């Protein structure tokens, strides 16, 4: 495994970025891994490494970089921690992520280790809205987009991702938890119908026996069987669309 961190230049500043890829000289497709609300941490680096080992250059940016360096330990029992996390999360907008993605694509296009052309994107929790927005805003680049228990995919805001879902050209995989306090019970069915109506190739599922965060090994909600099945579906998505 080859990995490094650096400060990527964006319109808003310098973004801490982790990159992992297998050893070898062959250029590989890029996958951008967007973080969840608890922010950048080693757990996400480990998940990025696993994606990379499947044969990709995985790019993990710290999306909170415009607020400085924020490192949180996920602990809902601390009210102060929860307030800090939500304040950071609520500072993010879909447009900010679109602009950061532009910088990532520029960097990727100039990197000889990355295969030119289509990319994949994946995220959890708060990145659900980012995944859908980026897939729609970069339809000629994103051929695979996946989100797990993604939030704010359908909202009443002007920038709600579902409003531009018809612009998506790539394949979409959305996995929702059966029990989720952060996602309305109707969202999975509603976005499935919207994507179907817009003729977007999509797999939208609600996984039985799971709770929000089921893919994260360090969470009480961790469901090892469902998490492994989710990863295999993610890998299959990338393999058939990026290779």
Q: Which of 103, 105, 122 is nearest to 114 (CA)?
A: 105
What CATH number has the domain bearing residue 94?
3.40.50.1820
Q: In angstroms, how far apart are the furthest CA atoms of the chain?
A: 48
Q: How high is the pLDDT of residue 74?
A: 62
Q: How high is the pLDDT of residue 83?
A: 85
Global pTM value: 0.96
- Is it the case that residue 69 has pLDDT exceeding 90? yes
- Is it the case that residue 73 has pLDDT exceeding 80? no
Q: How high is the pLDDT of residue 67?
A: 94
Q: How high is the pLDDT of residue 77?
A: 64
Domain with 179 in it? 2-242
Tens digit of pLDDT for each residue in 75-104? Answer: 656 777 788 888 999 999 999 999 999 999
> Residue 68, by phi and psi: left (phi above 0), alpha (psi -120 to 50) or beta?
left
Average pLDDT (1-27) is 97
Q: How high is the pLDDT of residue 205?
A: 97
Q: How high is the pLDDT of residue 82?
A: 81
More confident residue, 67 or 75: 67
Tens digit of pLDDT for each residue in 43-54? Answer: 999 999 999 999
Pairing of strands 28-34, 114-124: parallel
Tens digit of pLDDT for each residue in 172-228? Answer: 999 999 999 999 999 999 999 999 999 999 999 999 999 999 999 988 899 999 999
Q: Which of 40, 46, 35, 33 is nearest to 16 (CA)?
A: 40
Domain count, the chain: 1
pLDDT category of residue 132 using cuts at 50, 70 and 90 = very high
Three-state secondary-structure class, residue 90: helix
Q: Provide DSSP, 167-185.
A: G--SEEEEEEEEE-TTS-T
Q: How many CB atoms lie within 10 A of CB 227?
A: 19
Three-state secondary-structure class, residue 75: coil
More confident residue, 76 or 113: 113
Q: Which of 213, 221, 119, 127 is nearest to 171 (CA)?
A: 119
Tens digit of pLDDT for each residue in 145-172? Answer: 999 999 999 999 999 999 999 999 999 9
């Amino acid at each position: 495994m080859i990995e490094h961190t650096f400060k990527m230049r964006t319109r808003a500043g310098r973004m801490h970025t982790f990159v992992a890829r297998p050893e070898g000289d062959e250029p590989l497709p890029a996958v951008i891994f967007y973080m969840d609300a608890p922010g950048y941490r080693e757990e996400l680096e480990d998940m990025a490494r696993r994606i990379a080992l499947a044969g990709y250059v995985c790019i993990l940016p710290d999306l909170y970089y415009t607020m400085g360096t924020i490192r949180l330990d996920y602990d809902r029992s601390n009210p102060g921690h929860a307030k800090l996390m939500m304040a950071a999360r609520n500072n993010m907008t879909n447009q900010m992520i679109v602009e950061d993605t532009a910088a990532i694509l520029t960097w990727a296009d100039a990197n000889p280790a990355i295969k030119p052309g289509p990319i994949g994107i994946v995220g959890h929790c708060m990145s659900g809205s980012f995944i859908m927005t980026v897939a729609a805003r970069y339809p000629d680049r994103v051929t695979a987009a996946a989100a797990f228990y993604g939030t704010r995919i359908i909202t009443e805001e002007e920038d709600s991702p579902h409003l531009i879902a018809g612009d998506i050209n790539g394949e979409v995989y959305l996995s929702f938890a059966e029990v989720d306090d952060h996602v309305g019970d109707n969202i999975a069915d509603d976005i499935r119908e919207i994507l179907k109506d817009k003729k977007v190739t999509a797999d939208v599922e609600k996984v039985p026996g799971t709770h929000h965060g089921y893919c994260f090994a360090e969470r009480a909600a961790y469901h090892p069987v469902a998490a492994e099945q989710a990863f295999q579906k993610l890998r299959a998505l990338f393999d058939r669309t990026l290779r």
